[in-house]
Amino acid sequence: MHGRSAMKVNTDGVLLGAWLAIPSLTAPAKKLEVLDIGTGTGVIALIIAQRLQCISAQSSIFAIDSDGPSATEAQENFSASPWPAMLNAKHLTLQEMTMDNSFENRFDIITSNPPYFKDSLKAPSARRSSARHNDNLSYGTLISSAAKMLKEKGIFSVVLPAEVLEEFILLAREEGLVPVRICRVKTVSAGKIKRVLMEFKISCKEGCIIQKGIPAEELLTIQERGDGPYTNEYRRLTGDLYLNF
């Protein structure tokens, strides 16, 4: 993965960017519209750009963050990447964006690594705290906004703590989004499932495959043990994203 050498890279973002599905293009000239919510340093957006470069180089990736310095850092990373024309970061809240009707039914891919420490003790730093807690971006707001801005056949992808999986799916169904893929993630093979990667699509009329279907289930282990090497499955998923993997 390219970008500034000082760029912070978190495993959750790498996993989601590498795992999420890229919709198939119906025509060679077609471009995809992508939205990355809460982009942080821009990791997920950059991974998507790298994956899209050989598929649809004319695609557009719009990354937003409610934190101004984060949005600035993301844009700096985008400008230093090989795909600056594809990437655009903006200091913007999701609530502000949702109120703009020009974004309605616009995106083929919406993705987010949202704040997740829902009820835990707040971090001492205000910026760090707002980045990791969902007081300013509830799961309900994230889901309803995604449902409004997603195209009819678009895909909404998130990475979340394993313990909120059922709650998130219930909220999504209330907004007309149904889960189509779920990947449960273990840090080590003997450990508990810590994260889940999930993909949702807009539910269609009664009787269709998406409406009736059970989401595809996957399991991913990052390392065999804490001090051991990465698993082959993790290497296959993320190997192309690192310069020296």
Q: What total of structural domains would you count in the chain? A: 1
Distance CA 15, CA 229 (A): 17
pLDDT over 80 at 209, yes or no: no
Tens-place pLDDT, residues 155-167: 999 999 999 999 9
**Domain membership flag for residue 102:** yes
Global pTM value: 0.85
Question: Which domain, by its residues, includes 140?
Answer: 11-241
Query: What is the C-alpha separation between 176 and 53, in angstroms, rounded?
Result: 31
Residue 6 lies in a domain: no
Helix axes 165-174, 139-149, angle to 10 degrees: 40
User: Domain with 88 in it: what CATH number?
Assistant: 3.40.50.150
93 domain-assigned: yes
Of the two residues 206 and 197, the one the predictor is more confident about is 197
